[in-house]
A and B are shown apart, each in its own frame.
Chain A
């Protein structure tokens, strides 16, 4: 919706046909309705199905949506939910940043130099083959039960998709643009700041968006294995107590948080690379 209106707003500067454009995009009535209300309607359908299913099982197997929502609010107002979400975020966000930084520091030379590509790429691909659930205990042994191990795991998890996108972004720069910068006597630094960074930005942000949701998974996984706070701890605690409601509350909070991070990156993307649409 916002992308469409933004595009037509920009286009109306060049052409005077924005009215016809808008009409064409709208389509039949049911389609407009489906575009606007679709996600909410699907969600309601899901909740209804969940409710019907929950009637057939005892609450410790599958509690219904109403008790879970109630418990969610209770945990929210008691402050426990915010406390645990904050703990998880304080691992996921630094992990995301460190992973992104590492992805840039390794990805940039790989994209630019064939030698670096040859030297480093096999290890990067191989590192992706390690199941990160398996190295989580290792990290806990090395770094202890504090935040460090969790941040480290998040960084490892987000590293690969971000690095791949940064490399692809820098490699997508046309040789002609490099010639142009060379013909204008640009220094390496100027070429980096004025050509490579902005050219690789759209793809890098796509990588960051994928990494954003992965960072939550990384943090939760690490929390499963030993800690006293965080959404992973909450879920694990619920499982131990057969408090299925609490497990579902933890999962819900994780999903909402992941959506928020994803949305933030998406907004940054639209703001920074709006010239594309």
Chain B
């Protein structure tokens, strides 16, 4: 099967001169879950924003199912580092928001508010927020708010789900619980997933494939396959496959960091290495 979502050698340089990505290539197959791991500030968020069409790369191209991506589309659901819920809307109204924007309203099956209501109710159950339909965001814990945001990202049944360090702001325990929940929800939603994170265990737990990125400007440093079966559980952490994937990813990450450090220390060091 050929790749579904492609970042074809994209480079992104911001107006202030910061080069966030350099010729970054990522190919994601339909139904696959890919994690991009890299040190803080390696342009991971930039990559995701480019995949979502929020920014257009200065070179290279993002393609979705063969078509170039130049602006945000309904094909993509996005989960950010923070829940980004609207405080004046209840949980269910927040989840329904995507259908009120863009041309999404016209994408509702003919005639149905009932359909939407059921869809929202199903999602609330799927993400484990039953009983909080009418709650306002300030009444939710950080983890619950992120669950609501996940439901909102999935409500239009987008073929692609982009996750930008979605659990980075949560405590370790909530994070593990939500990672496991996300794996189940992702399987149930039949989407193609791209996760950006700096947590290697999280990447191994969720992904079929891990792409390791160098520090800024982000470039692909290596790819790790994760041959673990699904559904996944944290008990798998002790399996040799899990441990091996973790170690490979970690050494790739370390190598990537060191290489850049050397390159930046000065020309003579590079010259000697060459």
Contacts and interface: CB of A to CB of B under 8 A. Distances in A.
Given A177-B84, A190-B101, A183 B135 contact: no
Contact of A10 (B88, B98, B136): B136
A185 B73 contact: yes
A185 B72 contact: yes
A195 interface: yes
A10 B134 CA distance: 10
Interface residues of A, number: 25
A14 B139 contact: yes
A194 B96 CA distance: 12
Contacts of A198: 86, 88
A132 to B, nearest CB: 35
Nearest to B87: A275
A10 B135 CA distance: 8
Chain A facing B: main interface SS: helix
Contact of B134 (A13, A183, A276): A13
A184 B54 contact: no
Chain B interface size, as a band, is 20 to 34
B139 A11 contact: yes
A187 B132 CA distance: 29
Contact of A174 (B49, B73, B84, B88): B84
Given A13-B139, A14-B139, A185-B73, A190 B100 contact: yes
Nearest to B103: A185
Interface string B82-118: 1010111000000001101111100000000000000
21 contacts: A10-B136, A11-B139, A13-B135, A176-B80, A179-B84, A180-B80, A180-B84, A183-B52, A183-B76, A183-B78, A184-B72, A184-B102, A185-B71, A185-B104, A186-B102, A190-B100, A194-B86, A194-B100, A198-B88, A275-B136, A276-B138
Interface of A: 10-11, 13-14, 174, 176-177, 179-187, 190, 194-195, 198-199, 201, 273, 275-276
Q: Which 3 residue pairs are nearest across A and B when measured between Cβ atoms?
A: A185-B102, A186-B101, A14-B139
